[in-house]
Amino acid sequence: MESQPISLSRNSKTLQGSKVKLFSFKGVDVYSKKNHLLRKINLEISRGDFKFVTGKTGAGKTTLLNLIADDCPGLSISGAVYREEAVQNNSIFTSRIFQDLKVFKNMTVLSNLEYCFDPNLYSRVLFEKEMHDYSRMLGIREKLGVKLSECSGGIIQKVAVLRAILAKPDVILADEPTSSLDKASSQTVYEIFKLLNKNFSTTIIWATHDRDLVRSLSGEIIHIENGKLAHQGSTCFI
Amino acid sequence: MFYLNVFLQSLYKNKVRAIIYLALCFMITFLSIYKSSILDLMKKNLSHLQEEVSFQVAVDDSFSNKEKIEKSESLPGVTSVIKLSSAEVVSRLGEISDQYDVNLGNVLNEVSIYKISLNPGISIRNQNLVRKYFEKLLNNSESIISPLDFPSAALSEQTSIFINTIENIFKVILFVLFLSFFVSHYFLTLEIFKQSYIIENFQRKKKVGLKATTSGSAIFLALIGMSFLINYSKGYIFLTFLIIFFITLYIIQSQRMIKN
């Protein structure tokens, strides 16, 4: 890993540093047409939280992230769902790292990252500076001009991670963001997230089924089994 | 401008779909603007089969009022006065001259033959009046005026059916193009909505897909709409309704996609 100090600048005007409740779910059930996906979920997520969502494949981690992101097409939801008003009007912004990545493989790394360029947040110069800084940290600096169809799975995953970071979100919902990465790269992603969490109170919700990874990192965990919230607490539980 | 840019970028990034979409759009626009011109041109080219009424005048070369004949094109009801060339006359009368063993070359050296075409829209009485004018004009000279030559009714009807068929084919082509345009638009929209989903997840914007497709397609639909407005003030209400119908369908589809 190229370790070079980066200057992370933010112009977020929203509730920075304060422990504000962003999401709250009380007794929430989520159903698809045939399955009961989440059962009686009681969960609170505040500004500055760093939480891992753990559980086996199919336990309901992705559904929980979709529930938090209010992105549940075709699903029925019951129970009390609370979202901070600023979340609803996008002044507290949530970006995502999708499990299926949702990148455009017919485009270059750079073109994919351009989707995050919001002129209301960045000047072009600042965007390019941050893009180069982060891509250097993630080791994809030299790949910016390469088409994703020609890149390895690890590089594509790093692009998805970088895209979520460059959106300058207040909340990052990361669904298996390191599933194709080696241990060192996973550690780098964790360090970047930790840096964002510490410096800008960015809320990080990280879903993974990799117990070893969680054991090696520090944070709170939300453990899900068969759609039920089995445990909330520190990673020591793992 | 941002949303229009998203639309244009998705055109650029989906080149095949974009080329089909743009080609269909311009074909519809071109056809609807030039349809009447193309049909008019065809009608004009077929008019000699369909509508022409004419008679021929043969005058001795010594006739002093030839200029008056040539200037008679400006008479009301006369569409053209053409001096037939010797070769044309020989080719038309070749068989007859062979039969009667006449050397037409010698005759035509001393005679000028004119074909006077009349507007078929004027009454037979007026057509006869024009012919009588020529009779008076040529009263004291050695000349021959043929009777009025009307087109064959069967031929005229065939031509008319042919033109009507072409007109109907145009309408069918336009309809098919229009349908294809909306199908290609739908597939392009799918791509835009994919991209807009990503934009909404990484930029602080909402309903990007709907706004981008609306602003982008508005330009192309306006282009097509304008071409219809230019050409058809009435009689194409059906097509206008068709456009409205598809726009409504499109909005409903967009709403469904947003919900999903």
The answer to whether ipTM exceeds 0.90 is: no
- Contact criterion met (CB < 8 Å) for B201 and A95: yes
> Which residue in B has a C-alpha nearest to residue A69's C-alpha?
B201
Predicted local confidence at residue A89, as pLDDT: 76
Residue B11 CB neighbour total at 10 angstroms? 18
Predicted local confidence at residue A203, as pLDDT: 94
Which residues on B lie below 8 Å from A175 (Cβ)?
Answer: none
Average pLDDT, chain A: 87
| Residue B20 to residue B182: CA distance in whole angstroms | 11
Residues of B near A (CB-CB distance < 8 A)? 13, 195, 197-199, 201-206, 259-260
- Contact criterion met (CB < 8 Å) for A95 and B197: no
Which DSSP letter does residue A48 get?
A: T
State the pLDDT confidence band at A12, using cuts at 50, 70 and 90.
very low
Residue A4 predicted with pLDDT over 50 = no
Which residues on B lie below 8 Å from A90 (Cβ)?
Answer: 204-206
Q: Compare B104 and A20 and report the one with higher pLDDT.
A: A20
Arithmetic mean of pLDDT, A38-51: 93
| Residue A196 to residue A200: CA distance in whole angstroms | 5
| Residue B115 to residue B92: CA distance in whole angstroms | 13
State the pLDDT confidence band at A156, using cuts at 50, 70 and 90.
very high
Q: pLDDT exceeding 70 applies to what percent of chain A?
A: 91
- The kind and range of the H/E element at A83 are strand A76-83
Along chain B (260 residues), what's the average pLDDT of each consecutive run of 10 residues? 81 86 85 78 66 77 72 80 76 64 66 80 80 79 72 67 82 89 89 88 87 83 72 58 68 58
Alpha helices in chain A (DSSP H): 61-68, 85-88, 109-114, 124-138, 153-166, 183-200, 211-216
Q: How many CA atoms lie within 13 A of A75 on its CB side?
A: 19
CA distance A215 to chain B (A): 30
> Which residue in A has a C-alpha nearest to residue B191's C-alpha?
A104
Q: SS3 of A82, please?
A: strand
Q: Of A91, A64, A83, A24, which Cα lies nearest the Cα of A173?
A: A64
Out of A32-36, A57-61, A177-181, B96-100, pick the least confident. Answer: B96-100
Which residues on A lie below 8 Å from B199 (Cβ)?
Answer: 115
Predicted local confidence at residue A2, as pLDDT: 42
